[in-house]
Amino acid sequence: MMKKRILSLLLAASMVFGLTACGSSGSAAHSAKKRIVRISHAQSEKHPEHIGLLAFQKYVQQHLGDKYDVQIFPNGILGDAQKAIELTQTGAIDFVVAGTANLETFTKVYEIFSIPYLFTSMDAYKAMMGDSSYMSNIYKSTDSAGFRVLTWYNAGTRNFYATKPIKTPDDLKGLKLRVQQSPASVNMIKAFGAAATPMSFGEVYTAIQQGVINGAENNELALTDNKHGEVAKYFSYDMHQMVPDMLVGNLKFLESLSPEEQKVFEDAAAESTKVELQEWDKQVDAAKKTAKEKMGVHFMNVDVSAFQKKVLPLQKQILQGNPSIQAIYQHIQEINQKYKKG
């Protein structure tokens, strides 16, 4: 496969040159001194995260352009999320953007975001994620896994979409739905009464098209940017999760930077989030319009509390099984309270 070839060429090059492009001859000598910094992500080049990463690249270029050459690899060409996280752990690449659901199998703390209906409003979610001093403790807690998160990106709310309408939780019974490779999300689908089929994001379109699954769950951009709206025409706003994406860095690379350089990378990350959040809001509105008008997708507002009831017992279950997230859960309850409507 093409992806595998690109990946093995890249890895072979890393082994020959170390992680630095250190060719010595001819006109390439000057640029070859730069340390190449590779970022992998699985979205398209139009996606808000890619646009955010371009801002990251620009910031590093402006401040440390003589030393570092940031290269972005979109569309999962270096591997799907799970593979790219492993590559970031070992240092074969330096950064990956991955959803916390995909990080869950590497470090249990990120299970927190897979808890269904964890946040009671988008405002509460954004307040938590935007509190960088609180989040930095979570980000650092994965050091033992060999990586550290630098920042987060908004990926909206996750909702069911399928080849037939899901209006009530009963409509989920017997459906085969794709979930992310996250044990907590698999349990959530089971609690909803559907059959969970974990697979990587890139496989979803064909799986729906071929009838291997009846649908999936995601944000609105999956319909347009990933074209799932071509094969699944019913999208239900049950809003079961808000799962952020994370910019994850290889710890050894981050620790190899001087304090001044670390600051540049941190500021670049903060800048990328600012850009991504703005772009997200713009693109979600546009995606809804396109999905509705051009792809014929029906958006349905459902009784969220009926869906909530099905999976609330799971909250306790997940918490009991994972002491590392109990304090974070409490903290989120306080934020939820603060942003309660009415």
- Residues binding ligand GCU (CB under 6 A): 81, 99, 102, 155, 180, 201, 218, 222, 245
CA distance 141 to 112: 13
Name which of 14 and 273 has its Cβ closer to ligand GCU.
Answer: 273
Q: Which residues pair with 17 in a beta bridge?
A: none
Q: How far is the CB of 149 from ligand GCU (least distance, A)?
A: 13
Name which of 40 and 218 has its Cβ closer to ligand GCU.
Answer: 218
Q: How far is the CB of 53 from ligand GCU (least distance, A)?
A: 13
Q: How far is the CB of 170 from ligand GCU (least distance, A)?
A: 24
Name which of 69 and 80 has its Cβ closer to ligand GCU.
Answer: 80
Name which of 14 and 181 has its Cβ closer to ligand GCU.
Answer: 181
Question: Which residues fall within 8 angstroms of residue 294, CB to CB, at 6 or more apart?
Answer: none
Residue nearest to ligand GCU (CB): 99
The CB-side HSE value for 212 (13 A sphere, CA atoms) comes to 13
Q: Residue 154: helix, strand or coil by DSSP?
A: coil
Q: How far is the CB of 4 from ligand GCU (least distance, A)?
A: 20
CA distance 156 to 135: 18
Instruction: Estimate the crossing angle of helix 132-140 against helix 122-130, to 10 degrees.
Output: 70
Q: How far is the CB of 185 from ligand GCU (least distance, A)?
A: 9
Question: Which residues fall within 8 angstroms of residue 285, CB to CB, at 6 or more apart?
Answer: none
Q: Residue 152: helix, strand or coil by DSSP?
A: strand
Q: What type of residue is 153?
A: Y
Name which of 223 and 335 has its Cβ closer to ligand GCU.
Answer: 223
H/E run at residue 53: helix 48-64
Q: Tokens 């809804």 sit at which residue? A: 288
Q: How far is the CB of 287 from ligand GCU (least distance, A)?
A: 12
Contact (CB, 8 A) for 156 and 99: no
Question: Which residues fall within 8 angstroms of residue 314, CB to CB, at 6 or more apart?
Answer: 115, 116, 184, 187, 188, 191
Q: How far is the CB of 283 from ligand GCU (least distance, A)?
A: 12
Name which of 19 and 103 has its Cβ closer to ligand GCU.
Answer: 103
Q: How far is the CB of 244 from ligand GCU (least distance, A)?
A: 9
Name which of 68 and 95 has its Cβ closer to ligand GCU.
Answer: 95
Residue 250 dihedral angles phi and psi, to the nearest 5°: -65, 130
> Which DSSP category does 164 fall into?
S
Strands of the sheet containing 245-250, edge to edge, are 68-73, 35-40, 95-99, 245-250, 147-153
Name which of 68 and 147 has its Cβ closer to ligand GCU.
Answer: 147
Name which of 79 and 99 has its Cβ closer to ligand GCU.
Answer: 99
Q: How far is the CB of 42 from ligand GCU (least distance, A)?
A: 6
Helices (H) and strands (E) in the chain, counts: 14, 11
